[in-house]
Amino acid sequence: MKADTFARFCAFLEQHSGILLSRDKQYLVETRLSRVARAQGYATVESLIETLLSRRDRVLAREAVDAMTTNETLWFRDGYPFAALEKKFFPEAVAAKKSNYRIWSAACSTGQEAFSISMIAEEQRVPFNLDIVGTDLSEEVIAKAREGVFDDLSLGRGLSPERKRQYFVKASAGWKVAPQISRRTQFKVGNLLELRPESRRYDLVFCRNVLIYFSRETKAKIINRIADTLVPGGYLLLGASESLTQLSDRFTAERLPTGGTAYRLKG
Ligand SMILES: C[S@@+](CC[C@H](N)C(=O)[O-])C[C@H]1O[C@@H](n2cnc3c(N)ncnc32)[C@H](O)[C@@H]1O
């Protein structure tokens, strides 16, 4: 692929998704787009990119961006955020006599994070209404999350055999999340670059392992918009290796009793 084609595709990708590719990621574009090129009948990745950049083909644009997302996720990822639901967030909501509690799993991929949250709520028998909204840029992963069917390999990544037995029912293509877990979840396609203020705010936002793909400016913009979606005093959880340092002064960092950090919206 010509360096110029790669550079123009990178600009297109960042504009549509925020995802910033470094110069050494040409192979990644070649590999991931070759699947789309084959499916759409393009002889080369380069010809697909040329069409993409010269025509406003929304379907092709969506497929190309979708193919460039990294959807790696697992059940109860990093442990401590889920232990913190049990030890801090849910008890605080009970103490505040909340009747409704809303959690946003931003960039939720195939839904493991949202379903893991719902499993903790089930085990804690939370006395309030809990809504867990999962959003992701990729239509493909949102379709999978909505379907809620996982194979043994993906269930093996972080889910205990007890929880598999309790919360899944056998389906022809694997194991389907049981209704007592899926009932609290809903999944929608949503781009973090296009966040709009919502009428109903969130008590807690999980936005983990996605900011790493963005430039500092994009991270700061997204964090600010996430702050606008939280209730006053609401919390934001980032990935284990991510932090808000030099990105926003609207939060205070709080060490969690279970390890890790939560960011509390000021005011
Ligand atoms: C590595 S996964 C992280 C999944 C989950 N949050 C976790 O920590 O396990 C990153 C997800 O971010 C999504 N993503 C990338 N750019 C996005 C954007 N601009 N808006 C919404 N989601 C995006 C990808 O589609 C992908 O599913």
Task: Please check whether residues 156 and 29 belong to one and the same domain.
Answer: no
Task: Please check whether residues 63 and 84 belong to one and the same domain.
Answer: no
The pLDDT of 218-224, averaged and rounded, is 97
Among candidates 60, 19, 28, which has minimal Cα distance to 191? 19
Closest atom of ligand 1 to CA, residue 72: 1
**What is the reported pLDDT for 198?**
77
101 within a domain of the structure (yes/no): yes
52 within a domain of the structure (yes/no): yes
Tell me how many domains the chain contains. 2
Name the pLDDT band for 202 (thresholds 50, 70, 90): very high
Q: What percent of the chain has pLDDT over 90?
A: 95
254 within a domain of the structure (yes/no): yes
Name the pLDDT band for 114 (thresholds 50, 70, 90): very high
* Mean pLDDT over the full length of the chain: 96
CATH at 19: 1.10.155.10
Name the pLDDT band for 266 (thresholds 50, 70, 90): very high
Task: Please check whether residues 48 and 96 belong to one and the same domain.
Answer: no
Listed residues 39, 68, 97: the one ending a domain: 68
Question: Separation of 28 CA from ligand 1 center, angstroms?
Answer: 17
What pLDDT digit, counting tens, does each position of 138-174 carry? 999 999 999 999 999 999 999 999 999 999 999 999 9
Task: Please check whether residues 47 and 122 belong to one and the same domain.
Answer: no
With a 6 Å cutoff on the Cβ, whether 65 touches ligand 1 is: no
Closest atom of ligand 1 to CA, residue 74: 9
27 within a domain of the structure (yes/no): yes
Residues counted in the chain: 267
Task: Please check whether residues 11 and 98 belong to one and the same domain.
Answer: no
Among candidates 192, 262, 256, which has minimal Cα distance to 19? 192
Listed residues 48, 68, 88: the one ending a domain: 68
75 within a domain of the structure (yes/no): no
Q: What's the CA angle centered on 124, arms 236 and 136, to 5 degrees?
A: 40
**What is the reported pLDDT for 116?**
99
Range of the domain at 7: 3-68
Token pair, residue 248, equals 């926003």
33 within a domain of the structure (yes/no): yes
What pLDDT digit, counting tens, does each position of 6-54 carry? 999 999 999 999 999 999 999 999 999 999 999 999 999 999 999 999 9
Listed residues 68, 90, 117: the one ending a domain: 68
What pLDDT digit, counting tens, does each position of 53-108 carry? 998 889 999 999 999 999 999 999 999 999 999 999 999 999 999 999 999 999 99
Task: Please check whether residues 145 and 182 belong to one and the same domain.
Answer: yes
**What is the reported pLDDT for 57?**
87
74 within a domain of the structure (yes/no): no
User: Could you give the CA distance from residue 197 to residue 228 in angstroms, rounded to a whole number?
Assistant: 7
Task: Please check whether residues 180 and 235 belong to one and the same domain.
Answer: yes
73 within a domain of the structure (yes/no): no
Task: Please check whether residues 206 and 91 belong to one and the same domain.
Answer: yes
The pLDDT of 130-136, averaged and rounded, is 98
Contact between 85 and 117 (Cβ < 8 Å): yes
Global pTM exceeds 0.75 = yes
**What is the reported pLDDT for 239?**
97
CATH at 98: 3.40.50.150
With a 6 Å cutoff on the Cβ, whether 77 touches ligand 1 is: yes
User: Could you give the CA distance from residue 98 to residue 95 in angstroms, rounded to a whole number?
Assistant: 8
Task: Please check whether residues 41 and 84 belong to one and the same domain.
Answer: no
Task: Please check whether residues 108 and 216 belong to one and the same domain.
Answer: yes
Amino acid at residue number 20: L
Question: Separation of 3 CA from ligand 1 center, angstroms?
Answer: 27
Helices 58-68 and 26-40, packing angle to 10 deg = 140
The pLDDT of 173-183, averaged and rounded, is 97
Please determine, for residue 197, whether its predicted confidence score (pLDDT) is greater than 80: no
Task: Please check whether residues 218 and 93 belong to one and the same domain.
Answer: yes
Task: Please check whether residues 192 and 232 belong to one and the same domain.
Answer: yes
DSSP string, 176-197: EEPHHHHTTEEEEE--GGG---
Please determine, for residue 175, whether its predicted confidence score (pLDDT) is greater than 90: yes
